[in-house]
Amino acid sequence: MNLLGAFLSELEARYRKRDTSYTILGISFGGSTPMIWYPPYGQQVAILLSDECKQDVSRAIFQLAHECMHLLSPSGSRDATLLEEGLATSFQMEIAETYCLYPDDCSVDTLIQKENYKLALRLSEELINIDNHCIKRILTKCGKFNKINPKDITKEVPSFSLENAKLLCEKFDYS
């Protein structure tokens, strides 16, 4: 089974077709932190999973699920918003449960260590719990996650607080 293709298909069905102006180069391994990598030439993007994934299939699937979200609207730089990271983390947690990657403990507190990811997850899930189709509408209007502003969110989901919409539109802090 091609998990990259399966995950992308699922995310496209939920949120939007991916931006095909970027060519997906594939998946490689390196370093300690998974990420999207943009080569210095052309409109290309690759997924970089951590080195430990070479020996840990569960971790590789877990990281791949998260990074696939970033393939929907690549920007050419590391400028994801809390909304994008929150949706990526939500999908990652869903995949962990679906594939029983961590059968002993699949909780957010166990699998997601950094508080900024937990905040992004909580706010993103709060938004989609109010209206699970709003992301598709917002992305259709704005094109990319990093182009969404707080008023785009509150216009589509009036019951979502402007304060939380502002947080979701902030650039994610990777430190």
- pLDDT at residue 46 tops 80: yes
* Coil, helix or strand at residue 16: coil
* Coil, helix or strand at residue 80: coil
The pLDDT value recorded for residue 1 is: 54
Amino acid at 97: E
d(CA 90, CA 103): 17
Query: How many CB atoms are located within 10 Å of the residue 140 CB?
Result: 11
The pLDDT value recorded for residue 147 is: 96
pLDDT band at 78 (very low <50, low <70, confident <90, very high): confident
Burial of 96 per CB tally in 10 Å (0-12, 13-18, 19+):
buried
d(CA 175, CA 156): 31
pLDDT band at 71 (very low <50, low <70, confident <90, very high): very high
In this prediction, residues 112-120 reach a mean pLDDT of 95
The pTM score is 0.95
Query: How many CB atoms are located within 10 Å of the residue 101 CB?
Result: 20
Q: Do residues 91 and 71 make contact, with C-beta atoms less than 8 angstroms apart?
A: no
